[in-house]
Chain A
Amino acid sequence: METSANTQALAYLVSAVLFILSLKGLTHPASARRGNFLGMIGMAIAVVATLMGSEVQSYGFIVAGVLLGAVIGGVLAARVQMTAMPQLVAALHSFVGMAAVLVAVGTFINRQVTGDLNAVLMSELSAGIVIGAITFSGSVIAFGKLQGLISGAPVRFAGQHALNAAIGVVTVLLAIHFAMTGSMLSLTVMTLLSFVLGFTLIIPIGGADMPVIISMLNSYSGWAAAATGFTLHNNLLIIVGALVGFSGAILSYIMCRAMNRSIINVVFGGFGSDAGGGESSAGAVAADKGVKSASVEDAIYWMEDANRVIVVPGYGMAVAQAQHALKELMELLEERGVEVKFAIHPVAGRMPGHMNVLLAEADIPYDHVFEMDDINPEFASTDVVLVVGANDVVNPAARTDQSSPIYGMPILEAGKAQHVYFLKRSMRPGYSGVDNLLFYQDNVSLIFGDAKDTIEGMVTALKGGGH
């Protein structure tokens, strides 16, 4: 049975509505899972409507591709560690990019057979290929940086921006030539150059800017889908592409705002690279001023009778896998009537919202977890702040030191609490390479060591009855 084009278009409309509702579901954790299911239904409707249309005539490759994809996707989703979520996301972005390239080239080959090509279609194909290819190779680089396969440090050389601009211009010229002539050579060179461009655009961006890169590539993958939609005159692809493209763009904006940097600055900046200079001066300052170090017992002494304890987690918490120990600490403190809250900076972790997922994984209820603007007024009336594997996001230099690279970045006002304990491995500065002024404040001490061991030490001390 074949579905008429009109029925198919209606089915696509239903599925577009379901996708919008699906994203809308993420307004609140309570409605989010339902939202995700609506998305699944939307996708199922779209796929079935396409398969039942008259344009799909053979099913062998399709069934094989879907089954294999389901197995691979299912295994990835079930196995991935929550700390490795940014890598999975980067990989999935690259797949969308590559799929968009393949669809565009495949469509070109098919239309050559039917002789159904024109300049408008070929310029739309070019857009799909260029955006898709940039998304693909850019995401591969992002994946490599996140996975530690390639250095997270920004790679920069003289004339980099000129080179990128030159590649960009040539790519556009080739796209125009291809659209006017249908030249296979232009198509091929354009495709290859787009892959190169994705590579050269992302390689100079430093590891500290990962949340922005992830968001940006998320956005690109959406535009790639939208471009595919223009090629195929498929409104569903256009709608979904626009939704995803805007989602990534807004996340990029939020991340940039949380670092007080412009997107231009992130893309062309290369930040958190020259830690060398910052590090040595940090060491020198530390020696001069003296940083107080404290023991687990010192921290417990103030925490067990506190009214409120706020935990500020950073990526270091994820590296140390300290979130489960933190949950235990939270429960023990709550048994003693201490209020425990978690304060999340928007750029904590390697992707937007990363910390929230890691805390949720450790069974820490989401109503204990607060965004920066909501919790900042509470630090002044807080007894103890534990900073676990975070650094730049609590550094008052962002407020006071105009020469600091992080100047102007909104911070968590941890320093206003009665007692602040940093759980740190060493005196190494944060990603920005900037010395943390908080270390030298009178109410601040450092507890050196692995964050997980330190927190487990606190748990043991509290269980032992304390003091």
Chain B
Amino acid sequence: MPDTLVALYVFVLACFIGYFVIWGVTPALHTPLVALTNAISGIVIIGALLVAGAEEASGAAEIMGFFAVLLASINVFGGFLVTNRMLAMFKKKKK
């Protein structure tokens, strides 16, 4: 099976996982959900690392890679930290 087809298999199956997992999220946590998905979509940092760190990377590719790493890192750090900050505020009634 060609690589692209394997990728398509993974994609379609992951869509189903996404569908079922996300419907389980409580509406009260929809804002943290958006922030958390911000953080994990920072996974494009992997692509950014591959561009910036490639042996063949020229000046232009390195600069693009640098900015991609920068933007993705802002997502990763900003996303996880702000999600944590929000979730820390959700408390039950003090007994």
Interface string of A135-149 (1 = CB under 8 A from B): 000000000000000
Question: From DSSP, what is the main secondary structure of chain B's interface residues?
Answer: helix
A329: min CB distance to chain B, Å: 16
Contact status A246-B22, CB under 8 Å: yes
Chain A nearest CB, measured from B20 CB (Å): 9
With the chains together, A33 CA to B82 CA distance in Å? 11
Say yes or no: A366 contacts B92, CB within 8 Å. Answer: yes
Q: Are A245 and B26 in contact (CB under 8 A)?
A: no
Taking a contact as CB atoms under 8 Å apart, the answer to whether A367 and B48 are in contact is no
Contacting A at CB under 8 A, from B57-94, are: 57-58, 60-94
Closest to B89 in A: A360
Assess the B26–A352 pair: CB atoms within 8 A. Answer: no
Say whether, besides A26-B25, A240-B40, A247 and B18 are in contact (CB < 8 Å).
yes
Inter-subunit contact B52/A32 (CB<8 Å):
no
Q: CB within 8 A of B84: which of A24, A33, A346?
A: A33
Q: Flag A216-260 by CB within 8 Å of B: 1 or 0 each.
A: 001001101110111111111111111111111011001000000
| Chain B residues whose CB sits within 8 angstroms of the CB of A337 once the complex forms | none
Is A352 a contact partner of B31 (Cβ separation < 8 A)? yes
Kindly list chain A residues whose C-beta atoms are within 8 Å of the C-beta of B23.
Answer: 250
The answer on a CB contact under 8 Å between B73 and A221 is: no
Q: Are A237 and B43 in contact (CB under 8 A)?
A: yes
List the A side residues contacting B90 at CB < 8 Å.
29, 32, 356, 360, 366
* Complex CA distance for A346 and B84, rounded to whole angstroms: 22
CA distance A78 to B86 in the complex (A): 10
Among candidates B22, B64, B82, residue contacting A106 with C-beta atoms closer than 8 Å: B64
Give A57 to B90 CA distance when docked, in angstroms: 43
* Binary per-residue interface labels of chain A (95-125) against chain B in the complex, 1 for a CB within 8 Å, 0 otherwise: 1101110110111011001100000100010
Residues of B within 8 A of A29 (CB): 26, 28-29, 87, 90, 92
Cβ-defined partner of B87 (8 Å) among A32, A76, A236: A32
Cβ of A89 within 8 Å of any chain B Cβ, yes or no, is yes
Name the interface residues of B1-59: CB closer than 8 Å to any CB of A: 3-4, 6-7, 10-11, 14-15, 17-19, 21-58
**Does the CB pair A55–B53 fall under 8 Å?**
yes
Q: What's the nearest-Cβ distance from chain B to residue A218, in Å?
A: 5
Looking at chain A's contact residues, the main secondary structure is helix
A235-B10 contact, Cβ under 8 Å, with A22-B40, A242-B15: yes
Asked if A66 CB lies within 8 Å of chain B CBs, one says yes
Complex: A215 Cα to B25 Cα, angstroms? 15
**Distance from A7 Cβ to chain B, minimum over Cβ atoms (Å):** 15
Bound together, the chains give a CA A368 to CA B14 distance in angstroms of 35
Q: A69-B71, A73-B77 are in contact. Are A242 and B33 (CB under 8 A)?
A: no
8 Å CB contact of B38 from A64, A89, A369: A89
The size bracket of the interface on B is 35 or more
- Write out the residue numbers on chain A whose beta carbons fall within 8 Å of the beta carbon of B25: 23, 26-27
Name which of A45-53, A185-193, A290-298, A416-424 contacts chain B. Answer: A45-53
Closest Cβ of chain B to A187, distance in Å, is 13
Q: Are B31 and A244 in contact (CB under 8 A)?
A: no
A74 in contact with B77 (CB, 8 Å): yes
- Chain B nearest CB from A223 CB (Å) reads 10
- Give the residue of A33, A102, A232 whose beta carbon is less than 8 angstroms from that of B64: A102
Q: How far is the CB of A175 from chain B (nearest CB, A)?
A: 16
**B78 contacts A74, CB within 8 Å?**
yes
Closest Cβ of chain A to B91, distance in Å, is 6
Residues of B within 8 A of A124 (CB): 4
Chain B nearest Cβ from A25, distance in angstroms: 9
Query: Inside 8 A of B70's CB, which chain A residues have their CB?
Result: 65, 68-69, 72
Residues of B near any A CB (own CB < 8 A): 3-4, 6-7, 10-11, 14-15, 17-19, 21-58, 60-94
Of the A-B pairs whose beta carbons lie under 8 Å apart in the complex, a sample of 16, sorted by A's number, is A22-B40, A27-B26, A58-B52, A72-B78, A89-B34, A100-B47, A106-B48, A106-B52, A106-B64, A218-B37, A222-B41, A228-B44, A237-B43, A356-B28, A356-B30, A367-B93
Question: What 8 A-B pairs have minimum CB-CB distances, sorted nearest first?
Answer: A69-B73, A353-B30, A73-B77, A65-B69, A246-B18, A73-B78, A56-B53, A77-B81
Given contacts A26-B29, A92-B75, A99-B45, 20 further A-B contacts (CB under 8 A): A36-B80, A39-B40, A43-B40, A57-B55, A65-B48, A76-B82, A85-B82, A92-B78, A105-B64, A106-B68, A233-B3, A236-B46, A237-B46, A240-B43, A241-B41, A242-B15, A242-B17, A250-B19, A352-B34, A366-B90
